[in-house]
Amino acid sequence: MQNWWKSAVVYQVYIRSFADANGDGAGDLNGLRSKLPYLSSLGVDAIWITPWYPSPMADGGYDVADFRDIEPAYGTLSDADALIAEAHERDLKVIIDIVPNHTSSEHPWFKALLSGDPAARKKFVVRTGSGPRGESPPNDWTSAFGGPAWSQLPTGEWYLHLYAPEQPDLNWDNPEVRAEFEDILRFWFDRGIDGFRIDVAHGLIKHPDLPDAGPRPDDWRTQPHPARDQDGVHEIYRAWRKIAQSYSPERIFVAEAVVPTNNRLARYLRPDELHTAFQFDFTRAPWRAEALRNVIDDALIQADIVEAPATWVLASHDIPRPVTRYARTQPSFDVQPEWDRARWAAEQPDHVTGRRRARAAALLQLALPGTAYIYQGDELGLEEVEDLPADSRQDPTWQQSGYTDVGRDGCRVPLPWSGTSPPFGFSPGEEQPWLPQPAHWGDLTAAAQQADAASCLQLYRSAVGLRKALLPPATPLQWVTGIPKDVVAFARDGFQCWVNAGRNPVRLPYGWKVVLGSIPDIDVVLPPDSAAWLTRKA
């Protein structure tokens, strides 16, 4: 389909936790390949695979030691070729992650820096420290995982890492860095991939003076920061767009750009720059009709202005799972000024309500114009695994916070495919997965849900299929008005989506019939925490 990326449903594969073919307890490329029929039958248009490069796994693969190869635990380059070819045979596009902000400290460039190579030093952000003897970091920047964003080299100088110390930031003012990444893009485009998800797209260029950032306010993501969203980043992506375009207008980029406002995000989205950029606002919005409507309005206004598709994200490998977010009274997580980690942890999640809302949210997301990203396991209604044993946790957030912030492992627990006890078909043998699965996931396996018409998996399947049939990409959205304030309802041509985020049942409109409900048996009344798709009665 031409311009597939303007209306695609993309399925995010967190490769380490998707499916394990070689029995080592971690997912791999052949495991993923064996599940392509599952993804085809889910009806998605594309998969985005998180970093598959050789990595010491200091940050789950986002610490890349070689951008032109495959992590041996995941397979080989020929496995990747076979995976891409089979995905294409099944009409699935393949997007891979590119991680240009930093390398692994095991990358040959950083090793060369450590051995004193002056050319390698210029490829990273290295400065003398502050204080009389340079004994303090050059500025006050903090790492996303906690602690200073600077670590000392054996020379006494400091290198910058916006993430873990094992992820040194590259110096994008150096033309050699630019040339290297342009070559890496070509390397993978030549192998047939359809696009790149750009990791930390907002971070490559730093303010030339590296000034202090000042105190970090609660709502830090909405504040400008000298290491984020600097104007110079755009010329990099314009050069990248030319490369993609030289292959085909159908090879695309999707940016993870964490910027203060949608207007700033729009600057990345131009016909000569990036095609799409994640809209993360749903992941922070409380389960309230007004908040959900605002997310949609904001994103669509921006999409109209820049003529780029809205790109809806409910979840990812970095965010607590929707079932668990919606299971709490607290709106959401992390960046809400009102978010209170201690309160979040203290509140017992109501997963029955969380699951019900997550199903409704899926119908909301999949009815919207634009592109929708589904994070693996959300189609199974998995919850965040909040009680992982401390010694199994691997996320650097956990280590770097001094074991106070549980980090992101809870949404990265390997998928349950079949059977009644761990590893639930994730691995072929008895090997236990790299993060332990909850014993009760037997009811949530893909196999169990396949056999249950009312399951979350079947809901997703129906929704993805009906979306194609009922919602031509170009049909715009119009709000349905004159309805109870707790309801989100919009129309697209002869279609309506209704979501009841309130506490009272709501009457559905006359003259319309339910073609899909987030729970079984929705007819004339929409119960609380549920959603329905409607078409006109003949």
> Given the rule CB under 6 A, which residues bind ligand GLC?
59, 62, 99, 163, 199-200, 256, 317-318
Nearer to ligand GLC, 100 or 433 (CB): 100
> Residue 352: phi, psi to the nearest 5?
-65, -50
DSSP readout, 188-214? HHHTT--EEEETTTT-SS--TT-----
Least distance CB 204 / ligand GLC (angstroms)? 12
250 annotated active-site = yes
For the chain, state the CA radius of gyration: 23
For the beta carbon of residue 209, count every other beta carbon within 10 angstroms. 8
Rank residues 62 and 189 by Cβ distance to ligand GLC and give the closer one: 62
- State the nearest-atom distance from the C-beta of 145 to ligand GLC, in Å: 8
Measure the CA–CA gap between 326 and 386, rounded to whole angstroms. 14
Token representation of residue 18 = 């998707």
Residue 269, beta-bridge partner list: 274
Closer by beta carbon to ligand GLC, 167 or else 437: 167
Please tell me the distance from the alpha carbon of residue 88 to that of residue 240, in angstroms, as a whole number: 23
Q: Would you say 496 and 509 are in contact if contact means Cβ atoms under 8 Å apart?
A: yes
Nearer to ligand GLC, 28 or 166 (CB): 166
CB of 256 to ligand GLC, least distance (A): 6
State the DSSP H helix or E strand holding residue 118, giving kind and residue range, or none if neither.
Answer: helix 118-121
For residue 535, what are the β-bridge partners? 495, 513
Cis amide prior to 309 (ω within 30 degrees): no
Q: How far apart are CA 202 and CA 218, in angstroms?
A: 20
Contact 8, 467 (CB under 8 A): no
Minimum CB separation from ligand GLC for residue 415, in Å? 18
What is the smallest separation between the CB atom of 150 and ligand GLC, expressed in angstroms? 16
Contact 424, 416 (CB under 8 A): yes
Q: Which is nearer to ligand GLC, 194 or 256 (CB)?
A: 256
DSSP assigned state of 264: H
Burial of 239 (0-12, 13-18, 19+ CB in 10 A): middle
**Shortest Cβ contact with ligand GLC: which residue?**
62
Tell me the closest approach of the beta carbon of residue 50 to ligand GLC, in angstroms: 8
Helices and strands (H and E) in the chain: how many: 16, 18
Strands 478-479 and 487-492, by their bridges, are antiparallel
Q: From the candidates 81, 173, 250, 386, give the one annotated as an active-site residue.
A: 250
- Is 184 or 483 the residue whose CB approaches ligand GLC more closely? 184
Least separation in angstroms between CB 236 and ligand GLC: 17
**Which residues is 507 bridged to in the sheet?**
525
Token couple for 216:
């970090």
Set 199, 318, 379, 395: catalytic member: 199
CA-wise closest residue to 533 among 501, 499, 486? 499
Furthest-apart CA pair in the chain: how many Å? 81
Beta strands in 319-383 (DSSP E): 371-375
CA-nearest of 434, 404, 438 to 420 is 438
* Alpha-carbon gap, residue 78 to 64, rounded angstroms: 19
Q: Closest CB to ligand GLC among 229 and 318?
A: 318
The verdict on whether 272 is a catalytic residue reads: no
Residue 177 or residue 457: which is nearer to ligand GLC going by CB?
177
Distance of alpha carbon 501 from the chain centroid: 24
Residue in the block written with tokens 């940016």: 255
Separation between Cα atoms, residue 254 and residue 279, nearest integer Å: 11
Tell me whether residue 14 or residue 490 sits nearer to ligand GLC (CB atom).
Answer: 14
Q: Give catalytic residues, as residue numbers.
A: 199, 250
